[in-house]
């Protein structure tokens, strides 16, 4: 039997599954198909619906709207899902939508993410682990966000955009192209402004590995030849370096979205 503590003013659907130690505060609404794993806390006034699973230890703050139908006119009531990982913090007035039939039927947020007040994660977005979204960040539908990405306040990310692991997006940026792993992008429209060196150092990346990554960055985003040619050269020159190969694979996998590059005249990293 669950040891969930449910405030008398909360409404919990008969089919909802509540793990051990769940806390549901005043005026929360939990739908029939929601699963709250162990030690999840809904502080108050949280509304969760749909086929939504919230991982253990996650805390959701007042007026968050989680799992309600996507803001997509192509959605017609299909039983799509939303999965939120463990130990996340979802602050006030955040909105997170489930997937759609046109996008894989799933929105996923990884473990230990911090989503600050009034941020939005749209349908079919796939968010990695340890991602930080500051206030008012908007992640559009079908985006793919790698692990350890940090977004400054009021960023807007175009649908279908990919952002590689350990990237940093500066405040008030409008991102309409893919950002390489370990990259840093700023502006409206955003451009690549270098590598996220501060983040790499904080996460204890090896100094020599950072030097090789910087050398590869300068080669890939130089002005000689085509981007594909430069990427192929970097792949060969740094064939034993996993960080560089991650960047190479990311660029080579680009499909419909452009890769953000430095602006003309901007110094390479």
Q: What are phi and psi of 102, to 5 degrees?
A: -80, 0
Helix (H) / strand (E) containing 134: none
Calpha distance 145→10 (Å, rounded): 34
19 is catalytic: no
Using CA atoms, how far apart are residues 265 and 267, in angstroms rounded to an integer? 6
Reported as type and span, the H/E element at residue 191 is strand 190-195
Catalytic pick from 50, 141, 170, 194?
A: 141
Catalytic residue, chosen from 45, 123, 142, 158, is 123
- Structure token pair of residue 103: 């996008």
Cβ atoms 85, 129 nearer than 8 A: yes
110 CB-side CA count, 13 A: 17
For 203-237, write each residue's pLDDT tens digit: 999 999 999 999 999 999 999 899 999 999 999 99
Choose, from 50, 103, 110, 124, the residue flagged as catalytic: 124
The pLDDT tens digits of the residues spanning 60-80 come to 999 999 999 999 999 999 999
Give 255's pLDDT tier (boundaries 50, 70, 90): confident
Check if 138 is active-site. no
Is the entire prediction scored with pTM above 0.85? yes
Q: Is 141 a catalytic residue?
A: yes
């Amino acid at each position: 039997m669950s040891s969930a503590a449910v405030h008398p003013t909360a409404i919990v659907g008969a089919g909802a599954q509540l793990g051990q130690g769940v806390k549901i505060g005043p005026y929360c609404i939990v739908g029939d198909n929601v699963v709250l794993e162990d030690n999840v806390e809904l502080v108050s006034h949280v509304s969760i619906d749909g086929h939504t699973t919230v991982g253990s230890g996650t805390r959701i703050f007042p007026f968050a709207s989680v799992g309600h139908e996507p803001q997509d006119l192509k959605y017609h009531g299909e039983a799509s899902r939303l999965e939120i990982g463990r130990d996340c913090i979802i602050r006030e007035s955040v909105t997170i939508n489930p997937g759609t039939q046109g996008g894989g039927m799933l929105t996923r947020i990884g473990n230990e993410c911090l989503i600050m007040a009034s941020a939005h994660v749209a349908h079919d977005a796939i968010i990695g682990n340890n991602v930080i979204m500051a206030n008012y960040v908007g992640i559009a539908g079908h985006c793919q966000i790698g692990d350890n990405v940090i977004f400054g306040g009021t960023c807007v990310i175009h649908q279908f955009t990919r952002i590689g692991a350990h990237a940093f997006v500066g405040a008030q940026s409008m991102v309409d192209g893919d950002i390489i792993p370990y990259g840093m992008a700023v502006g409206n429209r955003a451009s690549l402004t270098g590598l996220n060196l501060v983040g790499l150092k904080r996460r204890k990346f090896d100094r020599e590995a950072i030097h090789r990554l910087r050398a590869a960055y300068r080669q890939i985003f130089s002005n000689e030849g085509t981007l594909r040619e430069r990427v192929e050269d970097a792949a060969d020159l740094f064939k034993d370096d996993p960080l560089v190969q991650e960047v190479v694979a990311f660029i080579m996998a680009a499909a419909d979205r452009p890769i953000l590059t430095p602006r003309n005249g901007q110094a390479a990293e």
